[in-house]
Amino acid sequence: MRLVVDLTRCQGYAQCAFLAPDVFRMRGDEALWYDPEPDDTQREQVLRAAAACPVQALRVEGVHTRPPARAKPSPRRDADALRHTGRIVIVGASLAGLRAATALRWEGFTGSLTMIGDEPHRPYDRPPLSKQVLDGWVPAQQTALPHLGDFDVRWKLGVAATALDLAAKEVHLADGGRVPFDRLLIATGVRARPWPHEAEAALDGVVVLRTRDDAAGLRQRLATRPDRVLVIGAGFTGSEVASACRDLGLPVTVIEAGPAPLAGALGGVVGAVAADLQRDHGVDLRCGVTVTALEGDGQGRLRRARLSDGGVVDADVAVAALGGVRNVEWLRDSGLAAGAWGVGCDAGCRAFTADGMVTDDVFVAGDVARFPHPLYDFEFLALEHWGNAVAQGEIAAHNMVSAQTDRWPHLAVPVFWSTQFGIEIKSVGVPTFADEVVIAQGSVAERRFVAAYGHRGRIVAAVAFDQGKWLQFYEELIVRSAPFPPDVRTVDLSDERRPVPARIPDHPIRNREATVVVTGHDPSERRARLVQGRV
């Protein structure tokens, strides 16, 4: 059997851990781990757990197949024809792609549906890879996502898309094939950014973590009990890898160029709490430092790292947790607005052309999408979040088979979570949009608090450490553009309710070269052409 827990909804009530303890485990007070593919002997317990979940966050393949309630679309001849006989192609066998495919069938689409993926695996869940898989509890191959409904799909796996011909409405494949479409969804996501020095990246022991195969390989290395693991980068992936190493009793050094772990996503104030959390769990954390070189032993095996402060770290394994690279190379010369920033689209997931116009046949969802959000001054956001992939995939699916007047905007408030060092960290909104932060509830010293983030006098985000049940309340404040600091009556009010600078690091423009050139003079002739720079 297959299951998935929507951890953006889970509030840590632990009913599932009581009813099916071999499938669900609590790590700390609120952090939930689970086995995505438990043995069929656990079915009865899992179904009881699903029924008992107070927030209905648990989905089981073959059981939870009823689509969400939706307004009946207005009849349109062209939309109806597409629903019954159209050809929809999804490039990216990902969470966003899978949820879109499921939603298309929920929407009544009965035409041809093709899913293309460069990996040989069907869509799988990535969050367990840095947690349950590295811990050794769940094998990497047992992370497949469940199919939550009727699912008639033509699979093309293990073959990458190499080009897009918008005029011919065809996707070109690495094996020479071409797949025609009436509607296309781009859900190619991101890949791990490799260590930048090719020869050093090739050393035995230098790895990244993004795919199922990456996780299986890293788990195998950790099982050999290396003398020390080096983690380069203290974002969410790097911090979760460090947490897994400490859970296994392995020495680990984390090198972070910024002022604190997670500071790039949550700011320096909350990042400082994360730094204390890591050090209290035995992590050798070094911030404001970079790795200048990785050195081998002469036989191609990693032995040490040299640091910018002159230090040296001996390590058998180095995990490069340097963020992601959006998978857009196959869209070069396609005419779409695709680059290092992702694929630009409107709030309805329709892709932009390089001219800044929208297409009606090409849509974008998931980590690769960059879209404007009205709550954040229409700033274009690219969100590598589980919840965003689910919500945006469903919006894209609806809009692909709906008439213009029946289409929906993607206005969901961003939500994400991370489990590390026994703490469940959850966020709602966009903390990096903020200029101030206040500890609104709980206690930082106890690592159990809610931090509210403000921008120019309104609340824009909230981050909880083991206080996830409060985030729905703060989400309501965000969507109402409520004043900051929040002046509300809640339980467990903090004694530190004084706003301070959030200390969000500046995000320098990686590539200051021109992104487009404009040709032509007459308005009917003017066109923009992308200039391909560095990624």
Q: What is the pLDDT of residue 491?
A: 72
What is the helix (H) or strand (E) element at residue 45, kind and residue range? helix 43-52
pLDDT at 531 over 80: no
Please state, for a pLDDT cut of 70, what percent of the chain lies above it: 92
- If we measure between CA atoms, which residue out of 49, 48, 44, 54 comes closest to residue 34? 49
Mean pLDDT of the chain: 92
Q: Which residue type is seen at 151?
A: F
pLDDT in tens, 326-343: 999 999 999 999 999 899
312-314/252-256 β-pairing: unpaired
Residue 407 has phi, psi (to 5 degrees) of -80, 155
pLDDT in tens, 208-240: 999 999 999 999 999 999 999 999 999 999 999
Mean pLDDT, residues 394-420: 94
Rounded Cα–Cα distance for residues 501 and 480 (Å): 23
- Residues forming beta bridges with residue 211, ordered by sequence position: none
CA angle 89, 93, 99 (to 5 degrees): 80
Mean pLDDT, residues 178-196: 98
Q: What is the pLDDT of residue 495?
A: 72
Rounded Cα–Cα distance for residues 90 and 389 (Å): 14
What is the helix (H) or strand (E) element at residue 296, kind and residue range? strand 291-296
Residue with tokens 């985000």: 461
Rounded Cα–Cα distance for residues 331 and 335 (Å): 8
DSSP one-letter string for 345-408: B-TT-EEEBTTSPEEEEEEE-GGGEEEEEGGGTTEEE----HHHHHHHHHHHHHHHTS-GGG--
Rounded Cα–Cα distance for residues 324 and 94 (Å): 15
pLDDT in tens, 108-161: 999 999 999 999 999 999 999 999 999 999 999 999 999 876 678 999 999 999
Rounded Cα–Cα distance for residues 458 and 499 (Å): 12
pLDDT in tens, 146-177: 987 667 899 999 999 999 999 999 999 999 99
Mean pLDDT, residues 190-195: 97
Q: What is the pLDDT of residue 62?
A: 74
What is the helix (H) or strand (E) element at residue 418, kind and residue range? strand 415-420
Peptide linkage before 486 cis (omega within 30 of 0): no
CB atoms under 10 Å from CB of 269, counted, come to 22
Structure tokens at 152: 């008639």
Structure tokens at 177: 């094939």
Q: What is the pLDDT of residue 535?
A: 46
- Residues forming beta bridges with residue 459, ordered by sequence position: 454
Alpha helices in 42-158 (DSSP H): 43-52, 77-85, 95-106, 132-135
Residue 18 has phi, psi (to 5 degrees) of -75, -40
pLDDT at 269 over 80: yes
- Residues forming beta bridges with residue 373, ordered by sequence position: 379
Rounded Cα–Cα distance for residues 457 and 429 (Å): 15
Contact in structure between 25 and 32 (CB atoms under 8 Å) = yes
Give the number of C-alpha atoms closer than 13 A to the C-alpha of residue 20, restricted to the C-beta side.
26
87-91/183-186 β-pairing: parallel
- If we measure between CA atoms, which residue out of 12, 26, 507, 505 comes closest to residue 270? 505
Please state, for a pLDDT cut of 90, what percent of the chain lies above it: 82
Structure tokens at 516: 């487009």
pLDDT at 500 over 90: yes
31-34/24-27 β-pairing: antiparallel
220: left (phi over 0), alpha (psi -120 to 50) or beta: alpha
pLDDT in tens, 49-89: 999 999 999 989 877 555 555 555 555 666 778 888 899 99
Q: What is the pLDDT of residue 511?
A: 45
Residue with tokens 């769990």: 281
CB atoms under 10 Å from CB of 144, counted, come to 18
pLDDT in tens, 334-388: 999 999 989 999 999 999 999 999 999 999 999 999 999 999 999 999 999 999 9
What is the helix (H) or strand (E) element at residue 314, kind and residue range? strand 312-314
Give the number of C-alpha atoms closer than 13 A to the C-alpha of residue 520, restricted to the C-beta side.
10
Q: What is the pLDDT of residue 509?
A: 44
Residues in the chain: 535
